[in-house]
Amino acid sequence: MTFTLHPKSCPLAAIRSLILQKKPNIRNMSSTIRGPRPASVVVLHRALAPAFETFCRANRGPLPLLGRSEPGKWVLPALGAISGTRMDRPQFRKYEFGTCTGSLTSLEEYSEQLKDMVTFFLGCSASLEGAWEKAGLPRRDPPGHGHVGAYKTTVPCATVAGFCCPLVVTMRPVPKDKLERLVQASCSLMGEQGQPVHIGDPELLGIRDLSRPDYGDPVPCQPGEVPVFWPSQLTSLEAVSSYQTPLAFTSAPGSTVMTDLKDLEAPAGCPTPEVHPISQDPLHYSITSASAVQKIRELEAVIAVDPGNRGIGHLLRKDELLGASLSLSHAHAALLTTGFPTHFSHEPPEETDGPPGAIALAAFLQALGKGVSMIVDRRALSLFQKLVEEAVEQGVGDGGNELGMGKVKEAVKSHIRNGDVIACDVEADFAVIAGVSNWGGYALACALYILNSCEVHGRYLRKATGPSHAPGEQRWTEALPSVAKEEKMLSILVQHRVRSGVSGNVGMEVDGLPFHGTHAQMIQELLDITTGRQ
């Protein structure tokens, strides 16, 4: 593998050094290949090389490692700056004990120190420019032709052996109606490296003011545009600064090395990403794969059956289950409420529709490591456990009278029996419509499993930092609702004399529908869609 020099942009001394240089000894760490690729460099003492390489692998989103030199054999910066930028501009930064102590156009005077140092080559966001062309979008550059602004976030990178720093991101404004086209174009060209890590409100990343980047120059958002953030290789500057090594060098912001390491290409069968809004205040979009979206839509269709013939088909709104599950997937905590009294002449007055679905959802949220609290009527406390504090409220309804179903109030009044009397006024962000409330809870748990098993969504959740596979995946499978678990849950309710909502019977039924048959079949069908068993 070689690195190319461009004579028009390099001084004669650099070319002379290349001629005298022996064959480079560089380890290539890129995978599939395409056209020439720009890279940034980090130069560290050889003793730190193993730790920094591990740090890059643990945070490959902002620090995609293309290659590295062997110590003492070949160090690219010794040849002079190789960049598409002007040669009279600083090309490198010098760090001493974590502090930037100078900007340099050459590292020639440090040739002795460089003999004990290792050069790392990192992919950079300049490779995204091709995606704009493929998506048919004009490039938005900063005023004055500076380099695109980058921002420190409050998102921590995975820590490795003393390397510890926040994620740095670049931002480009994208027309709202072109979001998905650009994301799909960038992913098709660069694979996962082309996927953004955040779309929407910058404060969700801890960025207070887009007009004041930490590096480079801002690109202002115009009306109708949404800020989109990609991980930046400038994260490496923060990593070098955090370690406080006696001497280190990095590329200067905006300066890149053109290499013959090839641009990444999405592997065959790479998942197609889809972009979906999940909140308007604050503005927030999520990303998941098209295959995950399809599975969740299948779940939504399954639970929309109406065995009680109550007319809920008129209440259906597309992708409410998708929106609710995406929102819950991003939440750190959830507040669930259930326990609807329907049999006031009995003790307890609660019905069997509601608690099992809420508990199934709470169990899965807890398996994902989220804080979960459940709020119920005092008389229903024996059926529930309080889990944890903090909350994000979500509603699941089946007949139009549940909390949150105000979103479809007019449809309830027009199409549901006694709709004028039972229609709820309180709206929810997402109204998950199900033939039986419990089914909505089961479907949400299954949708969360699908999302958190999706590599595209998982990378977006963790902002491309940390390991690609979560340690709790086995717990997720165990936490899914099952026929056996839900049968046991319903039997507990029956022991407490909780009745079927429609019939008033104390027995293994919900809304007048038998567990063995109707409900067991629904649970199994949801599981088959979720786990891919058809």
Angle (CA) 191 193 198, round 5° = 115
Is the model more confident about 387 or about 366? 366
Contact present, 466 and 59 (Cβ < 8 Å): yes
Is the model more confident about 41 or about 384? 41
Task: List, as one string, the DSSP characters of 18-46.
Answer: HHHSPPP-EEE---S--SEEEEEEEEEEG
DSSP state of 499: B
Give which of 72, 53, 70, 68 is closest to 113, Cα–Cα.
Answer: 72
Is the pTM for the entire model greater than 0.85? no
Is the model more confident about 341 or about 97? 97
Give which of 254, 252, 41 is closest to 145, Cα–Cα.
Answer: 254
What is residue 223's predicted lDDT score, i.e. its pLDDT? 92
Beta bridge partners of 171: 229
Reported as a single tens digit per residue, the pLDDT across 418-434 is 666 666 666 667 778 88
CB 316: neighbour CB atoms within 10 A?
Answer: 16
Reported as a single tens digit per residue, the pLDDT across 227-251 is 999 999 899 999 999 998 999 999 8
At 516, the pLDDT band (50, 70, 90 cuts) reads very high
Task: List, as one string, the DSSP characters of 461-474.
Answer: HTTT-S-SS-TTHH
* Separation in Å, CA 227 to CA 275, 436, 448: 14, 40, 26
Residues recorded for the chain: 534
Question: How many angstroms separate the CA atoms of 40 and 309, rounded?
Answer: 64
Lowest mean pLDDT among 58-67, 153-162, 486-495: 486-495
SS3 content of the chain, % helix, strand, coil (to 5): 40, 25, 40
At 394, the pLDDT band (50, 70, 90 cuts) reads very low
SS3 state of residue 129: helix
Give which of 339, 342, 331 is closest to 379, Cα–Cα.
Answer: 339
Question: How many angstroms separate the CA atoms of 302 and 214, rounded?
Answer: 49
Give which of 397, 353, 350, 401 is closest to 376, Cα–Cα.
Answer: 350
At 325, the pLDDT band (50, 70, 90 cuts) reads very high
Lowest mean pLDDT among 115-119, 356-360, 469-473: 469-473
Element (DSSP H or E) covering residue 399: none
Domains of the chain (ranges plus CATH)?
37-79+87-256 (3.30.2040.10), 278-465+474-531 (3.90.1640.20)
Query: Within its chain, how far is the Cα of 283 from the centroid?
Result: 15
Task: Kindly tell me the number of DSSP H helices and DSSP E strands found in the chain.
Answer: 16, 20
Question: How many angstroms separate the CA atoms of 361 and 448, rounded?
Answer: 9
User: Per the structure block, which two tokens stand in for 293?
Assistant: 């979206």
What mean pLDDT is predicted for residues 81-99?
Answer: 68
Instruction: Give me the half-sphere count of Cα atoms (radius 13 Å) on the Cβ side of residue 234.
Output: 23
Lowest mean pLDDT among 119-133, 181-195, 298-312, 508-522: 119-133
What mean pLDDT is predicted for residues 323-336?
Answer: 93
Lowest mean pLDDT among 84-93, 384-393, 416-425: 384-393
